Amino acid sequence: MEDAHFSAHSKHCNSGAAFPDSGASITGIARPNAVFLYLIKLCRQPRKSVIFFLPRTEPSMAKPILLSVDDDPDVLRAIERDLRSQYGAGYRVIGSDSPEGALDLLRQLKVRNDSVALLLADQRMPRMDGVEFLQQAMGIFPGAKRALLTAYADTNAAISAINHASINYFFLKPWDPPGEHLYPQLDDLLDDWQASYHPTFQGIRVLGTRWSPRSYELRDFLARNHVPYQWIDVELSANDPETKRLLEALGPEASNLPVVLFPDGTKLLESVPADVAQKVGLRTRAQTSFYDLAIVGGGPAGQAGMSSRIENYLGFPTGLSGADLARRAVVQAQRFGVEILAPQEAIGIRTEGSYRILKLADGNEISCHALMVATGVQWRRLEAPGIDRLQGAGIYYGGGATEALSCKGEIVYVVGGANSAGQAAMNFARYAERVVILVRGESLSSTMSQYLIDQVQETPNIQLWTHASVAEAHGETHLEEISVLCSDTNKTERVPASAMFIFIGALPRTDWLAGAVERDERGFLLTGPDLIRDGQRPKGWALDRDPFLLETNVPGIFAVGDVRHGSIKRVASGVGEGSVAVQFIHQYLSKV
């Protein structure tokens, strides 16, 4: 493909084109040296197992709340009884015998993201009367309808409260029969409330800041495990009234970011994925200590699992995301009785006779007869001043789909010229003002599939900048600018940048196998024929056969997909190799 094809929106280093200003940036962090690995194990007797994986939790629809407050227990029981009799099917009826206790309860309900439809308070209560309570409660749930319960002698005070304190109605005690003196008026109030009611999100909520690597880590973890959640950026939404009320309800705890709020009212402060995983029921420990087969890997075909779009995988003519492919794989594994641990990480391997023993990051061990390594690859680190310092604050390895919405109206840079970079650019272009692809070469034709080049060419807000590499990243608390070195002119241009996503190279993370499994000079695992040198089997090989096609120098340890030396870096290839390896594993297990 000729560079002229990009004439409408391309940039060469000697063009001297200017870039518009932008002070914004995008959050993001990758952890090239630390990943959560899923350990999948098949039991021997019988040859199936129980699956342990994060259940897909759908947000439930909680009933709105009717809250009554009265210090007289007899009156409180009577009003709760009548409210529950008439409205119990559609509302939750809650009572409190003190206004102070009711305010504490309302703060808890705010943290839980519950909806309050009605506040019904007695006027004459010690320490705080009904009007004062309703005024304070209005600061927590301003949309709730507010009504007083009052004796005839307090009618003037109730009328005054309607005129000056935003009280919606007052009811005289006693209200018998409720069909005449309570329900008709409450029906009108609740109908009015329902007209403007929007159900609140009842799943997990994550409070954090855009530039916090820990906040991104949590969001990325939840997204990868298909857990619905709501993200609240406490800085960007600082002027949002609802966010303000939530932070006020949290009090001092709001400063311990990131904060994860659960529908049951519990919360985790300064949260990390492992804590969240335990809370939502994700299994991180194996059911037993021995398995026929353990598979160490984090998703389908390595980097593809993080891809925003895969369009060349058989059977999906309109394409699908890497996350969707991973979700489908988990569901399919469930059908076959696979036990999955996440988040978990393998940090070492040793052999004892026919046993292959995995050491996990939490100190536990799992033994197996056969081990499949399917850990894929990770992006190579970009070596330039400022990159490490601003990682997670505008500089990101890979391009998670969770970040695309944050790019709205901003300038985004994508570093790399392979398919992953092109797919990410197309995804970000849906939201960003402009996406600039930086490549060292003179075009994309030698590194990117033609169908993807055509899409990039046809997208007006994607710009190609050739002969370009990142020389430095600039910014105090987050990425603000980057310096781009033009190799054909040897000049450096400093341009504003809201975010930069890096897609360069592919390196395996196999240090945990060093000393046990043979690797090439880049860390990829050697298998099958690559282990035979001068007609000799690998050192220490004790079996009377050559290593199987996808078997490493350790009998019973197999490698598939991107982590394997000489593999084809494609999703279909990784899936195919896994299927082939299982056939060899059956043969291996039949002899142990």
> How high is the pLDDT of residue 60?
53
Q: Residue 22: what pLDDT? A: 31
Our measurement of the distance from residue 246's CA atom to the centroid of its chain's CA atoms, rounded to an integer in Å, reads 22
Residue 481 near residue 497, CB atoms below 8 Å: yes
Least confident piece of the model among 22-36, 218-232, 322-336, 465-479 = 22-36
Per-residue pLDDT of 387-435, as tens digits, reads 999 988 889 888 766 678 888 899 999 999 998 899 999 999 999 999 9
CA-CA distance, 361 to 369, in Å (whole number)? 20
- Cα–Cα nearest to 322, from 258, 430, 399, 222: 399
**pLDDT: is 31 or 390 the higher one?**
390
What are the tens digits of pLDDT across the range 72-95?
A: 999 999 999 999 999 999 999 999
How much is the pLDDT for 36?
34
Tokens 């004459």 correspond to what residue?
124
Contact between 399 and 424 (Cβ < 8 Å): yes
List, for residues 191-208, the tens digit of each pLDDT value: 999 999 988 888 899 999
Q: How far apart are CA 192 and CA 212, in angstroms?
A: 41
Q: Phi and psi at residue 435, in whole multiples of 5°?
A: -120, 125
Q: What is the pLDDT of residue 306?
A: 63
Domains of the chain (ranges; CATH) run 3-31+382-502 (3.50.50.60), 38-53+287-379+507-589 (3.50.50.60), 65-195 (3.40.50.2300), 204-280 (3.40.30.10)
Q: How far apart are CA 400 and CA 322, in angstroms?
A: 10
DSSP H helices in 367-524: 419-429, 450-458
Interatomic CA distance for residues 331 and 538, integer angstroms: 38
Q: How far, in Å, CA of 124 to CA of 72, rounded? A: 10
**By percentage, how much of the chain surpasses pLDDT 70?**
87
Bond from prior residue into 317 cis (ω within 30 degrees of 0): no
CB of 513 closer than 8 Å to CB of 424: no
Average pLDDT, the chain: 84
Bigger pLDDT: 8 vs 359? 359
Does the pLDDT value for residue 37 go beyond 80?
Answer: no
Q: Indicate the residue type of 344.
A: Q
Burial 11-35, CB ≥16 within 10 A → b, else e: bbbeeeeebeebebbbbbbbeeeeb
Tell me: pLDDT of 21 over 50.
no
Distance CA 375, CA 384 (A): 27
Strands 481-486 and 491-496: antiparallel
Nearest to 321 by CA among 402, 206, 385: 402
Tell me: the pLDDT tens digits for 526-547?
999 999 999 999 999 999 999 9
- pTM, entire model: 0.72
Q: What percent of the chain has pLDDT over 90?
A: 58
- With cut-offs at 50, 70 and 90, classify the pLDDT of residue 17: very low
